[in-house]
Structure 1
Amino acid sequence: TASTGLDQFGEQSSQLHAFLYRQGTLIDLGALLPAGTNSSGVSINGWGEVLGSYTTSTVSDAFLYRNGKLRLLPESLATLDLNDLGEIVVRSESGAASVRRPDGTLVPVPDSQYPPLGNQNPHGYNILEPRAMNDLSQIVCRDFAPATANQPETDYDFVNNVILLQPGGADQIVASSSLDNYCFPTAMNILGQSVGYNVSLYFNTSYGDFFYDGGIAALYTGGKSISLGSLHPAALAGGVPASSAAKGVNNFGIIVGLSETSDYPENATAGFIYLNGTMYNLNDLVNTTASGLTITEAQGINDLGQIVATAIDASGSEHAVILTPEFR
């Protein structure tokens, strides 16, 4: 949510605040942070604990809201995920990832240290980039090779895999990407299934050259990367594939996310739910009492089937919404 106001010169200022919605009440977590900070919630577990991040003009750090109190985690540059055990995956200012346990102990994630930006990989092995964690303390990672001295730093560096880190056990390749196809897991359930999106190279007929697409929603399981498709039936203008991304998966394997839906308006998206092998537009499934809002993205789904999503009204203003299924 955002609070806005006018300064003495009549210019509008805005500040983003993380919030927790519980039993019909919205709790402003940003109000518990130092003045002048922007904040956002990153993850919530089954106990109502919230992991988030905040920024000022000079600081970018993490926070944890637990038992009605907000605690700053200054050693954490980036927050990644929080499970029901109270464990947190964080990335420090040094670039290395760790699991922070409830007692404050930091357990390093192996091979997660980034080399200096623009430098070749000094380690000789791929980098593990943690993306999500489940309640079995399993961590899904993107396994990729950083740029070499002869190749400039890019967003997509060589072939990468989706790796499942087992606590105290062997690592498992959940999915492997092919040449010019890159995997980006975003969430994982207790079954070890992870979801995300794959970015691929395509030929743009309008420009007569190859480009990377915006990504297609994917399920990573059983050693395979399974494309979930999109809500748009065909390629967009110039042969651009309609993009989609999976953002959440519950412990029953039901997946939610967002997908492009049309050529115009540009980048028009809708939230989707994927179950029984089919992707459905959430706007086609909502009760008529929700008319006037268009669901543009679904971020998560719990085991009760409740979906947290973003919707816009007729004026274009965004709203956080919860979709609750009706069982008949």
Structure 2
Amino acid sequence: MRHFSLPYDLQDQGKKHGTIVINQSINQSINQSINQSINQSINQSKLILALLLSLPALNAQAEVRYSITDLGTLDGLSSSAKAINDLGQIVGTVDTISGARNAFIYSNGQLTELGQFGGIDISPSKINNSGQITGYVFDSIDIVHGFLYTNGQSVDIGVSGQSVFANGINNHGQVVGTDLTTVDGFLYANGVFVNTGINTNAGFFDINDNGQITGYMKFANGEYHAFSYANGQTVDLGTLGGTGSNGRDINNVGQIVGDFYWYGDDFNFVHRAFLWDNGVMTGLGTLGGDFSNASAINDNGEVVGYSGISNGDPHAFFYSNGVMTDLNTLIAFDSGWVLRFANGINNSGQIVGSGINPEGFSRAFLLTPVAAVPVPGGFLLMGTGLLGLFGVKRNTRKLV
């Protein structure tokens, strides 16, 4: 302890009592200063700790990769988006109050009803970059008619009395599909049907700009397998040990996605998503449930579809670089949405599908990639630096 010299008059008095009182006063002042310093350091440390604890929440927000748009229903009950082209045009369906199902196109922020093309139930399948739409419509006696919609006009694709599903279209306007009456796949181009040589016992789902076709066909072992067809050559994609498979979508690189399947314990088919690339079929797994299905792939190799989660509900997924991610984890956590099915993805990474909106209704959605908002690296360093600084000050004051 530091020594203090007393004033002359107190020394002259020679009173011990005065010295004791002064010493007590000095000690009390020092203790109060130390306590105040400690309390200030504690409060400042609590503040910094709270700041640091808030960083995980900021990091979680930085993981938001998509904004979400509810496409609406045009006063219908529900809606679902089926496909999107590279211009951001979307096709899908609206379920009306009367029970009918109408087609829509979404373009430049506007949802426009296309009607039913003379039927009572319609399902558009794909839209190309010219805005041509293909799909199928049920008539009043449950015959299915494939259609090609161009510039406001719909053309019936098919044979009278036969059920024809038009499933895919490329940017050249070539359409592929399935005649369920004869169980044949078909290619429709320039107003006529083209014999591919593999039409029998097959179903065609998609065609890319190079004319490559995928779908399913019956092979020599009697099983229906996913295939790739180009320039007269057919490739069996396999089944990954299952009893069958379907090729659902093909990009311009020749990558194919779809599902393989087998009989489950309840004798129902169990489906799992796959990606076929350069002769190799890879199972994509699930989001913790029993099933998954890949619906679409863009030219960047990004895949979307849906998968069961642990409780059995379907959730939309995004797959890239070997990782399947629940799309619900890539939107704002407080959006109120549950994304159920992802049906299409374009080359800009926009995704369409259907889910449950914040009001509890089934709605078509559009996901648009957004730039991540990174947490500045200096922010964490600032927090830890300040905490260390307060520690230094506290240790310095202990020496008083």
- Counterpart CA distance in 2 for 1:178 and 1:310 is 29
**Hey, what does 2:192 align to over in structure 1?**
105
Paired residues, what number? 276
- Counterpart CA distance in 1 for 2:192 and 2:227 is 24
- Report the more deviating stretch, 311-320 or 276-285: 311-320
Name the aligned partner's letter for residue 210 of structure 2: L
User: Offset at 1:64?
Assistant: 1.8
Q: Structure 1 residue aligned with 2:172, among 85, 102, 112? A: 85
**Hey, what does 2:368 align to over in structure 1?**
324
* Higher Cα radius of gyration: 2
CA RMSD, 1 decimal: 2.5
**Hey, what does 1:138 align to over in structure 2?**
212
Name the aligned partner's letter for residue 308 of structure 2: E
**1:252-295 CA deviation, whole Å, 9 max, x = no partner?**
100000011122xxx41110000111111101101357x12210
Q: From the superposition, tell whether residues 27 and 70 of structure 1 become closer, same or farther in structure 2 (CA, over 3 Å).
A: farther
Tell me the secondary structure at the aligned position of residue 14 of structure 1.
coil
User: Residue 18 of structure 1 contacts residue 52 of structure 1 at CA under 8 Å; is this kept in 2?
Assistant: no
User: Residue 159 of structure 1 contacts residue 178 of structure 1 at CA under 8 Å; is this kept in 2?
Assistant: no
**Hey, what does 1:262 align to over in structure 2?**
310
**Hey, what does 1:192 align to over in structure 2?**
254
Tell me the secondary structure at the aligned position of residue 279 of structure 1.
strand
**Hey, what does 2:351 align to over in structure 1?**
307
Tell me the secondary structure at the aligned position of residue 328 of structure 2.
helix
Q: Structure 1 residue aligned with 2:109, among 3, 16, 24? A: 24
**Hey, what does 1:42 align to over in structure 2?**
125
**Hey, what does 1:294 align to over in structure 2?**
338
Give the number of the structure with larger relative contact order, counting CA–CA contacts within 8 Å between residues 6 or more apart.
Answer: 2
User: Residue 42 of structure 1 contacts residue 52 of structure 1 at CA under 8 Å; is this kept in 2?
Assistant: yes
- Counterpart CA distance in 2 for 1:91 and 1:201 is 24
- Mark the runs of 5 or more structure 1 residues left unpaired by the alignment: 6-11, 114-126, 147-156, 205-209, 237-241
**Hey, what does 2:286 align to over in structure 1?**
230
- Counterpart CA distance in 2 for 1:178 and 1:22 is 40
Q: Structure 2 residue aligned with 1:171, among 197, 220, 234? A: 234
User: Residue 122 of structure 2 contacts residue 137 of structure 2 at CA under 8 Å; is this kept in 1?
Assistant: yes
Name the aligned partner's letter for residue 38 of structure 1: D
- Counterpart CA distance in 2 for 1:324 and 1:192 is 25
Tell me the secondary structure at the aligned position of residue 17 of structure 1.
strand
- Counterpart CA distance in 1 for 2:177 and 2:309 is 34
Matched, 1:275 2:311: no
User: Residue 261 of structure 2 contacts residue 271 of structure 2 at CA under 8 Å; is this kept in 1?
Assistant: yes
**Hey, what does 2:297 align to over in structure 1?**
249
Tell me the secondary structure at the aligned position of residue 145 of structure 2.
strand
User: Offset at 1:216?
Assistant: 1.1
TM-score, normalised to structure 1, is 0.76
**1:222-246 CA deviation, whole Å, 9 max, x = no partner?**
22221100111xxx6xxxxx10110
User: Residue 204 of structure 2 contacts residue 216 of structure 2 at CA under 8 Å; is this kept in 1?
Assistant: yes
User: Offset at 1:191?
Assistant: 1.1
Name the aligned partner's letter for residue 209 of structure 2: D
TM-score, normalised to structure 2, is 0.63
Q: From the superposition, tell whether residues 199 and 94 of structure 1 become closer, same or farther in structure 2 (CA, over 3 Å).
A: closer
- Mark the runs of 5 or more structure 2 residues left unpaired by the alignment: 1-72, 78-96, 373-400
User: Offset at 1:79?
Assistant: 0.9
**Hey, what does 1:151 align to over in structure 2?**
none
Alignment of 1:60-71 (within 5 A): 60-71=144-155
User: Residue 135 of structure 2 contacts residue 165 of structure 2 at CA under 8 Å; is this kept in 1?
Assistant: no
* Percent of matched pairs sharing the same residue: 28
Tell me the secondary structure at the aligned position of residue 171 of structure 1.
strand
Alignment of 1:210-221 (within 5 A): 211-221=267-277
- Counterpart CA distance in 1 for 2:224 and 2:144 is 28
**Hey, what does 1:150 align to over in structure 2?**
none
Q: From the superposition, tell whether residues 273 and 178 of structure 1 become closer, same or farther in structure 2 (CA, over 3 Å).
A: closer
**Hey, what does 1:123 align to over in structure 2?**
none
- Counterpart CA distance in 2 for 1:260 and 1:231 is 6
User: Residue 178 of structure 2 contacts residue 202 of structure 2 at CA under 8 Å; is this kept in 1?
Assistant: no
- Counterpart CA distance in 1 for 2:234 and 2:173 is 22
User: Residue 255 of structure 1 contacts residue 275 of structure 1 at CA under 8 Å; is this kept in 2?
Assistant: yes
